[in-house]
């Protein structure tokens, strides 16, 4: 068994990488002291992957928005029933999700791990689509899309993304639109599946109470070698300028909701992922609960406990987000821009830097205490071309000058936007 150990010198923690003969990369973190196990089977395909080709294709193909999410729904079905019915017999809790740049199938269990990992590997690698079942799903997903159209949390975010981005598919709802999913048929689903669900483009991440041999033996029985095709996904060129600086809609909410975004210039997958943790430190400095800005806004009644920040980062996109509820979102936006400009002018406070750096480092250390977070972080790190423990090194080695430069480069008001959902 040719396992590659990936170890953290800082923590003494470790996990293993195993390259299976099928082409699948396995990331395995056994923790016998835990009572449960968590597994993620992921493909590097998300809602932004609508134009693509393989090394065998002559030209790019463009598919309808929402097809990655549609495919996620359909994979649970087979001629013999659905995967959830199979999991019910093992007692495992199963689910799946599609994001902007990946799709993952998962389960957690405290017993019957062998049977559950076999189900996961089997149903994800055996698609079954017919025109009849595809048409049936259109109504189900169409209702899901309409439900999110009425969800103020969802709308305030996607309205912001539509304002920030002019061409990037990240501005489109992950599930697509009712019109786009109506164009999806079985042939398109198979085209998308055969492109992105190649085992060389996939990762199996497992953490918790399990035996490595059990996973590899299951893969030996179920997985067949996949042709190693290169995949090229094309995202439209995106200008630095935002499309709109302010958008507002009305929905039945008790208090106005807002999202504020600062659009950043994306780099490589690795640069974006490692830059995310630097942005998390910056966001804590600018508007964390211990920051002067947070205290001013809170004391003035301009924000409440719903206020928060996020480094919204993935393949081909990155932005810094601030969100919450406020009786005056425009004033929050003005105060935030003024505080960012002040810090850019004066530089990051050394005491705040030290405090926030420790806070983010501690957040990632705590993450390693949960099997689902470990598996998710291993998978994301692999798709972003780095090792999980590098995140800790980036935080620990971060210098204040690095954050000052990042603040100057990425937090310009001219590349920002405000999205508001006001009471109807």
Handedness of CA 55, 57, 62, 64 (dihedral sign): negative
Instruction: Give the chain's end-to-end CA distance (angstroms, integer).
Output: 62
Residue 359 burial by Cβ neighbours in a 10 Å radius (0-12, 13-18, 19+): middle
| Counts for the chain of helices (H) and strands (E), in that order | 15, 17
Strand positions, DSSP E, 60-131: 61-62, 77-78, 81-82, 93-98, 103-109
Which residue from 299, 306, 304, 293 is spatially nearest to 333, judged by alpha carbons?
293
Helix-helix angle 329-346:400-410, to 10 degrees: 130
Q: What is the DSSP letter of 290?
A: T
- The CA distance from 189 to 205, in Å, is 25
Separation between Cα atoms, residue 278 and residue 280, nearest integer Å: 5
Catalytic residue status for 72: yes
The C-alpha atoms of residue 342 and residue 334 are separated, in whole angstroms, by 12
Query: Of the residues 33, 44, 72, 334, which is catalytic?
Result: 72
CA separation for the pair 157, 155 (Å, rounded) = 5
237: tokens are 């060129």
The catalytic residues are: 72
């Amino acid at each position: 068994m040719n396992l590659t150990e990936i170890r953290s010198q800082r923590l003494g923690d470790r996990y293993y990488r195993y390259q299976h003969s099928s082409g699948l990369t396995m990331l395995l973190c056994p923790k016998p002291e835990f009572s449960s196990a968590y597994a993620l089977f992921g493909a590097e395909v998300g809602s932004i992957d609508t134009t693509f080709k393989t090394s065998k294709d002559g030209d790019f193909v463009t598919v309808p928005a929402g097809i990655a999410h549609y495919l996620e729904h359909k994979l649970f079905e087979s001629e013999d029933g659905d995967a959830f019915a199979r999991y019910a017999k093992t007692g495992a809790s199963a689910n799946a999700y599609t994001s902007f740049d990946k799709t993952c199938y998962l389960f957690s269990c405290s017993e019957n791990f062998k049977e559950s990992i076999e189900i996961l590997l089997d149903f994800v690698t055996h698609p079954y689509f017919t025109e009849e079942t595809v048409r049936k799903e259109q109504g189900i997903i169409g209702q899901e899309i309409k439900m999110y159209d009425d969800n103020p949390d969802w709308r305030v975010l996607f309205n912001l993304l539509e304002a920030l981005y002019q061409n990037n598919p990240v501005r489109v709802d992950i599930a697509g639109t009712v019109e786009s999913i109506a164009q999806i048929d079985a042939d398109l689903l198979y085209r998308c599946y055969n492109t992105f669900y190649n085992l060389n483009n996939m990762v199996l991440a497992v953490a918790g109470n399990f035996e490595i041999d059990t996973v590899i033996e299951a893969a030996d029985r179920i997985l067949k070698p996949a042709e190693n095709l290169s995949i090229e996904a094309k995202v439209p060129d995106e200008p630095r300028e935002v499309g709109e600086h302010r958008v507002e809609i009305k929905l039945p909410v008790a208090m106005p909701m807002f999202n504020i975004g600062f659009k950043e210039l994306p780099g490589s997958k690795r640069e974006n992922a490692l830059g995310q943790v630097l942005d998390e430190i910056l966001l804590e400095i600018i508007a964390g609960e211990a920051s002067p800005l947070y205290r001013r806004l809170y004391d003035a009644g301009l924000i409440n406990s719903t206020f928060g920040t996020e480094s919204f980062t993935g393949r081909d996109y990155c932005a810094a987000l601030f969100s919450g509820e406020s009786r005056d979102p425009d004033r929050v936006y003005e105060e935030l821009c003024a505080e960012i400009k002040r810090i850019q002018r004066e530089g990051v406070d050394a005491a705040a830097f030290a405090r926030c750096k420790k806070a983010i480092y501690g957040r990632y250390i705590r993450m390693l205490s949960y099997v689902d977070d470990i598996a998710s972080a291993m998978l994301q790190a692999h798709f972003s071309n780095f090792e999980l423990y590098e995140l800790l090194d980036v935080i620990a080695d971060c210098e204040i000058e690095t954050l000052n430069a990042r603040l100057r480069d990425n937090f310009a008001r001219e590349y920002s936007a405000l999205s508001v959902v006001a009471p109807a």
